[in-house]
Structure 1
Amino acid sequence: MSAGWREQRSRLRKELRRLDVFFFLICTLVGLDTIGSVAAAGPQGLTWMAVLALVFFLPYGLLVAELGSTFPVQGGPYVWTRLAFGRLTAGINQVLYWLSNPVWLGGSLCIIALTTWEQFFTPLPGLWKYAAGLAFIWAGALAVVQSVRVGKWVPIAGAVARIVLLGVFLVSVVVYAGRHGVHALPAGEFAPTYAGFLALVPVLIFNYVGFELPSTAAEEMTNPKRDIPLSILRSGLASLLLYGGPILGILFVLPAERIGSLGGFIDACKAVFTVYGGHIAADGTVTLTGFGAVLGSIAAAGLIIGLLTSGVTWAMGAHRAQAVACADGAGPAWLGTFSERHGTPVRVNLLSAVLASVLLIVALQLTDGDGEKYFAAGLGLTISTTFISYVVTFPSLLVLRRKYPDTPRPYRVPGGRAGARLITFLATGLVAFTVVVLIWPGFGVGWFGTGGSAADSLPEAFAGQRLQYTLSQVVPLLLFLVVGLCFALLGAPARRRMRAGAAAGELPDGDGRQASPTGRAVRSTGR
């Protein structure tokens, strides 16, 4: 890594312990914004959830556990890709990983938060919707810039909010079932279909990713080699329970025709809380009264906090990795600065908040305030942008095993070389396939005897508007790639200084030592 990063490295503070990392991952993995999308697919959503837990979630966790414990260096995915494929590839790839966060925060997270507020509190007409959305974004920005000692309480609060909210919801489902009964779930509806797979694979895999985020702050952890693998195992098991239970509860409570991708979880909460006060009209309209209304308001606040902390937790990781990349010469040097006071990349944080704010305003204008359309386009773009970066990052496992075979590996993927190849193929192949499905919904439907129509796979808000939906994905992706290339050009002066220093006999870190891939300084051999 460059001398520019060595200067910033001294500002990091070791404040993250094992329990902090566990809560960090719970806040990352249990996404409240996708629960409704999975439930909207019906009982087969649970079937595909179990299948993908085996063929993606497990391999992905094993892959990150080895990379994170073997190369516990600040920047995580950027450093792995940098060691495997070089600074240019890693820099452009990191821009995609970073930009997915403001797209997500200003997109699907923001629109669900606004929808929740309107359903439980008060409507947001006209400019009030913009004001509330901007307040949501900048509250997150304020949390991200704080020091690790303060900022780590955000994912802790988010994890606790999830556990309490989902726990209260499940208890309420049991009470509701005892009083009103539940909807039958015929065994045949659990049968998986290819069309159902195409609809679910993006949101399910998206809800399964995030294991690499603690590694972006590896040098702020007290013992990353030990804590990363253990936290991945524990949080993975916990997230399956926290995610699967509410989906099953929604299916029991709401009729299939009333489950929407945007409001499925919100509507289910309102329905089950009627057991504490309120009623459901013949047309399905829910009215909460008394303690039901109080509990509904508390749950709505918890949901909004959960959504905000999801964005903040991802930002804490993605922004750190982007700042490391810029300090290393893969982007503009002024973005690679960590605050001496907070030890966080304040400039990247503020730039991300500005981008999320612009996205919110533009998207609301383009969709004429249509929440469903805004949600579908924003979530699809977030997932595809993140997954394109994974297509490059995941193969780093195999490359780094070949390039650095003697680097101590506290944890290794079982099965030797064949095991490493298998999990890399599964993880990389599924995220690559998901990108294709997101850009062209319905890919493969009707082929080789499969039933259904490709047009039916479009998001409901874009029914009959394939070109409009495809452009909403492709145009921003091309723009993000251009931004990545521009970042590479802006990092050129720093790279020239590195080459000049190398020609003058100076080593990259400028003090006669060369950093090993694990971050441990070793004496130069003089070659």
Structure 2
Amino acid sequence: MRRVFGDAVGARVAWLYWVNYALWVPAVFYLFALVGSQLLGIELSAWEVAGVAIVMSWVKSFITMRDVEHILWLPNLGSIFKAIIMTLLGVCGVYVGMKNGFANEINWQTVTPSLEAGMGYLPVIIFNFMGFEIIAGASSAMNDPKKDIPKAVILGGVLIAVFYLLATLGILATMPVETISDATGVMEAFSIMFGGGGIAKGALVVLGLMFLYTLISNVVTWAMGVNRAVVYAAQENLLPKSLAKLHLKTGAPLNVAIWNGVISTVVMLAYGALASGGSMNEILTDTHHVMADSLEDQGSVEDLFWDVFSLGAITLLASYLLLFPAFLKLRLQDAKQERPYKVPGGKFALYYCGVVPSILLLLGIIFFVYVPGTEFDEDYFRNVGTGILVALIIGEILIFRTRKAQNTSKQTEQ
């Protein structure tokens, strides 16, 4: 994008690509705190949830200061755990549904996509499929990246679709759709599937711990890509030079990891203050107690989780927005450039891959804020909009100061 649109756009894209991660991490560890409290059978206040999220954010930062070779096992094990969890959700959910009756009506009419539902869930669907570019960061460790990376992208896309559909089917077979929690629905579904026996409770704890581990592995995996990206931007004088500092022993990004922890801390303190007036989580003391009995009490939990999650998700979608136009322009203007992998299918596929994803990304950003046909949520818009605006302003200040310092340096040399 820097080659196509210039240094200023490249700097903004690098900033958005990194800051989305720093804003998204609190949502992940917010979820970590909720599920962890369920496993322990305790109830956490707003500030306690914020405290857990802050501590875990710093633990993550210290993990990402290690070199990639020594932490690759962590995301690899997390991928195995995710596959196990999603497979069990699907298989056990369908079994319980066939035995006791499905919690929701599942037929051709109910599973057929609708425009209304599509608009509502489009942002999350797009977000779930993002991150394929991170695999390119491991290209130096591959025997044949020219063949391995396209295979990994295609196979990864297919597997993600299969696992998400399987897990979704299992949850819908077990829980009425109106009682499913955005934040803790997975563990609640398992609780209903397994019942209240001693062995079942033990299995639920094991799966809960596996789920918590996958949250940690997710943020570590993303850090491998986004931290390196902002270091490169700093080395190229697009962002402050201080962000390029590496760990002396491991060679991993140092200052970037520290700032990840700082931003996560600020976000969770702010949202902890907003939600400190009420209870933060619904405890599952009875395996047959579902959320329908207390939807009103849990509203603050769902709202807070969605607010924090949206902060990172919207900035991530924004960072990708110019990616596909840049791809299209480079392929048309610089067609003779040798490339490791190319999109097959001629000009039709070229334009399709340049235009359609851009439209979907733009719609995803819009629908994160407002879905046509639904009530406009002013509180959500104000909370999330303020967070994003602050992030954008800070980015502009950093970029301005970096360019000013670079221009001053050039004038001094002349």
- Give the direction of change, closer, same or farther, for the CA distance of 1:189–1:178 in structure 2 (3 Å limit): closer
1:113 alignment partner in structure 2: 32
- 1:389 and 2:322 matched: no
Matched ranges for 1:3-402 at <5 A: 81-107=1-27, 109-126=28-45, 127-177=47-97, 179-183=99-103, 184-216=105-137, 218=139, 223-274=144-195, 278=196, 289-368=197-276, 369=280, 370-402=300-332
Q: Which moved more, 1:363-372 or 1:231-240?
A: 363-372
- Give distance in 2, aligned partners of 1:326 and 1:182: 54
Letter aligned with residue 29 of structure 2: C
2:371 alignment partner in structure 1: 442
Q: How far apart are 1:82 and its partner, in Å?
A: 1.3
What do residues 384-431 of structure 1 show as CA deviations (whole Å, max 9, x unaligned)? 111111111221111222343222123221232332111111111100
CA contact (8 A) 1:92 1:487 kept: no
Structure 2 SS opposite 1:234: helix
What do residues 419-449 of structure 1 show as CA deviations (whole Å, max 9, x unaligned)? 211111111110011111112x223x3xxxx
CA contact (8 A) 1:391 1:431 kept: yes
- Give distance in 2, aligned partners of 1:418 and 1:169: 39
CA contact (8 A) 1:120 1:300 kept: yes
- Give the direction of change, closer, same or farther, for the CA distance of 1:192–1:226 in structure 2 (3 Å limit): closer
Cα RMSD (Å): 2.3
- Give distance in 1, aligned partners of 2:89 and 2:2: 44
CA contact (8 A) 2:18 2:226 kept: yes
Structure 2 SS opposite 1:406: coil
CA contact (8 A) 1:169 1:269 kept: yes
- Give the direction of change, closer, same or farther, for the CA distance of 1:442–1:234 in structure 2 (3 Å limit): closer
- Give distance in 2, aligned partners of 1:404 and 1:121: 58
- Give distance in 2, aligned partners of 1:304 and 1:316: 19
Letter aligned with residue 435 of structure 1: I
CA contact (8 A) 2:30 2:49 kept: no
Q: Which moved more, 1:96-105 or 1:364-373?
A: 364-373
Structure 2 SS opposite 1:329: coil
Structure 2 SS opposite 1:202: helix
Residue of 386, 389, 394 corresponding to 1:478? 389
- Give distance in 2, aligned partners of 1:338 and 1:212: 22
Query: Going by fraction, where is helix more abundant, 1 or 2?
Result: 2
- Give distance in 1, aligned partners of 2:109 and 2:332: 47
Q: How far apart are 1:303 and its partner, in Å?
A: 0.9
Q: How far apart are 1:468 and its partner, in Å?
A: 1.4
Structure 2 SS opposite 1:158: helix
- Give the direction of change, closer, same or farther, for the CA distance of 1:483–1:410 in structure 2 (3 Å limit): same
- Give the direction of change, closer, same or farther, for the CA distance of 1:165–1:193 in structure 2 (3 Å limit): closer
Give TM-score, length-normalised by structure 1: 0.69
- Give distance in 2, aligned partners of 1:344 and 1:493: 28
Q: Which moved more, 1:88-97 or 1:122-131?
A: 122-131
1:489 alignment partner in structure 2: 400
CA contact (8 A) 1:381 1:473 kept: yes
Question: Which blocks of at least 5 consecutive residues in structure 2 are unaligned?
Answer: 281-299
CA contact (8 A) 1:216 1:318 kept: no
What do residues 160-203 of structure 1 show as CA deviations (whole Å, max 9, x unaligned)? 11122223333433543454343441432224333211211011
- Give distance in 2, aligned partners of 1:500 and 1:484: 24
Q: How far apart are 1:497 and its partner, in Å?
A: 7.7
Structure 2 SS opposite 1:262: coil
CA contact (8 A) 2:89 2:171 kept: no
- Give distance in 2, aligned partners of 1:142 and 1:134: 13
Q: How far apart are 1:322 and its partner, in Å?
A: 0.8
- Give the direction of change, closer, same or farther, for the CA distance of 1:477–1:306 in structure 2 (3 Å limit): same
CA contact (8 A) 2:37 2:44 kept: no
- Give distance in 1, aligned partners of 2:18 and 2:144: 25
Q: How far apart are 1:491 and its partner, in Å?
A: 2.0
- Give the direction of change, closer, same or farther, for the CA distance of 1:290–1:248 in structure 2 (3 Å limit): same
What do residues 95-120 of structure 1 show as CA deviations (whole Å, max 9, x unaligned)? 1111111211112x122211211222
Q: Which moved more, 1:319-328 or 1:217-226?
A: 217-226
Letter aligned with residue 74 of structure 2: V
- 1:467 and 2:378 matched: yes
1:423 alignment partner in structure 2: 353
Letter aligned with residue 82 of structure 2: R
- Give distance in 2, aligned partners of 1:214 and 1:487: 28
Structure 1 SS opposite 2:322: helix
Q: How far apart are 1:500 and its partner, in Å?
A: 6.6
Letter aligned with residue 476 of structure 1: G
- Give the direction of change, closer, same or farther, for the CA distance of 1:467–1:178 in structure 2 (3 Å limit): closer
CA contact (8 A) 1:330 1:487 kept: no
Segments ≥4 residues shifted beyond 6 Å: none
- Give distance in 1, aligned partners of 2:71 and 2:144: 19
Report how many residues are paired: 390
- Give distance in 2, aligned partners of 1:170 and 1:366: 36
Letter aligned with residue 270 of structure 1: S
